[in-house]
Amino acid sequence: MERRDGRIAVGVKANQIRRARDAETGPAEHQETLWQDYSLVELGLARDVDRLLPEGQAFIELLRSGGRLVRAGDDLAVLKLNKWLRDRTGLAGDPLQFIEATGTWIAAFDCASDRRR
């Protein structure tokens, strides 16, 4: 998620185990989303605050469009972004899939932005 201040919030779902409040019930497991904020510079997607790399620009467009990018299947910035995401997310398969029929890249994860376009 792109925050209003330009930082990127990354949420990862994790199973958490909570101790029982009394001796009669055992520990309970629940799923919780853990959030961490990063700047695009920290992520390596920008040279500085005002200079995004092409893959950084593609990432911002992806977040602002809800996970859909209309770009060519051989768009170098999107291909680099796909590799960058694959190296960092641990997702099985490519984080971005190209749909030839529509000429659209689709994210395999949730995308959102708190900023206006």
- Residue by residue, pLDDT tens for the chain (117 residues) are 999 998 999 988 777 776 666 556 667 777 888 889 999 999 999 998 889 999 999 999 999 999 999 999 999 999 999 999 999 888 888 999 999 999 999 999 999 999 865
Predicted local confidence at residue 94, as pLDDT? 93
Q: How far apart are CA 57 and CA 109, in angstroms?
A: 18
Of 117, 116, 96, whose CA–CA distance to 106 is shortest?
Answer: 96
Q: How far apart are CA 111 and CA 117, in angstroms?
A: 14
pTM of model > 0.85: no
The pair of structure tokens assigned to 85 is 């995401």
Name the 3-class secondary structure at 84.
helix
Predicted local confidence at residue 116, as pLDDT? 65
Query: What is the C-alpha R_g of the chain?
Result: 18
Predicted local confidence at residue 23, as pLDDT? 59
